[in-house]
Amino acid sequence: MKFKFNEDVSRIYDYLLFPRLYFYKYDYEENKNDDLKSVIHEQYLEMAERLNEKLKPYEKEISQYFQKSIYSSYDYPNILTHAFPVEGYTDEHQYLESILDVDDSEFKDKLIKSLVTMEDDEDEKISVDELNSTEYINNLKIDSANKWNLFLMVQNPKKYLKDYIVFLKTVEPLFYNTYNQFKDELIEVGMDISARLSKNTAQSFKKITQNLINYEFSNREVCNLYVSAMFPYSVRLMGDHRIVWGLKSEFSFKKVSEINENQLSQRVKIFKALGDKTRYEVLKMISNGHSSIKNIAEKLDVSSATISYHVNEFLTTGIISINRDKDKKAGYRIDYHKLNEVISGLKEDLNFE
């Protein structure tokens, strides 16, 4: 498979999501995983702190389009790009203007369908309308303010989009000033990662992600690779032909792997991860074949964002890995070998007969 890096689309994604950096300080402080915090460069934290101050005057607008939890799927740009893919565009303004030109009825239909199908890649043929989308929003495990924003989006989607565009143009100078600091590094990383993944894709991907993600790509000829400078420690696997790769992702995978090499430290982390009742229930469901975040959330009657948080904790300890078999959806798999090692180590430490 050939991996094709695209700097223009990378910038468009970062442009659309840039304002959510306002919440990064909150995300960082709320994260209880100290090892995960140690992965993040001090320079990035300082930059996020400065941007938090500069974006503070726009808190009301940011809260309208972005949810506070980084694990939420329902940020407006995610819904928008799921309905109207960014591929093929060379400029963020061109992308947004092209969506504005879409017929109002068609735009509304696509946006509503995106809202109710974006989690877990549900059947795109599902029949949706404003009525059942309202019911869908009502049933979401999110706070009332976020629900209200989604109701506004559904009731008058074109106005919602226009207001979003006006807001983006307001913070645009701040985005470009920040983005341009990383542009050269972003291009270098994009070219490097795409070249390496184009050779022996499966093994190269396992090596780069330190075996935390076992992802078998389909038989497509091309996979699009985009690099995020604004969210450098995240990786988004979008189907079998799109990846949004964080600028510092390879470093973070290496750092997590080094931390996990300390066997005593890893045992403590794993037992700590298992010490939360909901998280333990999540692991049980994964062991029984449940791989859908949405499905697990419904079974345990919590939000998808909560399940995503717990899954991320398991991923960083190495208890589970992301797996995708060819022509199948991505899912999670428990590393039973690692758990056996941990249990054996516990018995040895405590002189268990």
Residue 330 lies in a domain: yes
Domain edge (last residue) among 160, 182, 204: 182
C-alpha 160/C-alpha 143 separation (Å) is 20
Whether residue 300 lies inside any domain: the answer is yes
- C-alpha distance across the termini of the chain, in Å: 51
The pLDDT profile of the chain, 353 residues, written as one tens digit per residue, is 899 999 999 999 999 999 999 998 777 776 666 666 778 888 898 999 999 999 999 999 999 999 888 778 889 999 999 999 999 999 999 999 999 999 999 999 999 888 888 765 444 455 555 557 788 888 888 888 889 999 999 999 999 999 999 999 999 999 999 999 999 999 999 999 999 999 988 889 889 998 877 777 777 789 999 999 999 998 988 876 889 999 999 999 998 888 777 777 778 888 888 888 999 999 999 999 887 888 898 899 988 888 988 988 888 788 888 877 655 666 788 989 888 988 888 888 888 87
Separation CA 191–CA 318 (nearest Å): 28
Question: Does the residue 14 lie in any domain?
Answer: yes
pTM: 0.85
Run of H or E residues at 346:
helix 336-349
Domain assignment of residue 138, yes or no: yes
The CA-atom distances, in angstroms, between 161 and each of 96, 108, 253 are 9, 11, 36
Q: For residue 313, what pLDDT is reported?
A: 84
The answer to whether residues 162 and 295 belong to one domain is no
Tell me which of 182, 206, 236 is where a domain ends: 182
241 domain-assigned: no
Total domains present in the chain? 2
Single out the residue in 165, 182, 199 at which a domain terminates. Answer: 182
Does a structural domain hold residue 254? no
Same domain, 285 and 171: no
- Asked whether residue 295 is assigned to any structural domain, the reply reads yes
Q: Give yes or no: residues 37 and 162 share one domain.
A: yes
Residues 287 and 175 in one domain: no
Residue 248 lies in a domain: no
CATH number, domain of 306, equals 1.10.10.10
Expressed as residue numbers, the domain containing 275 is 262-349
Same structural domain, 12 and 160: yes
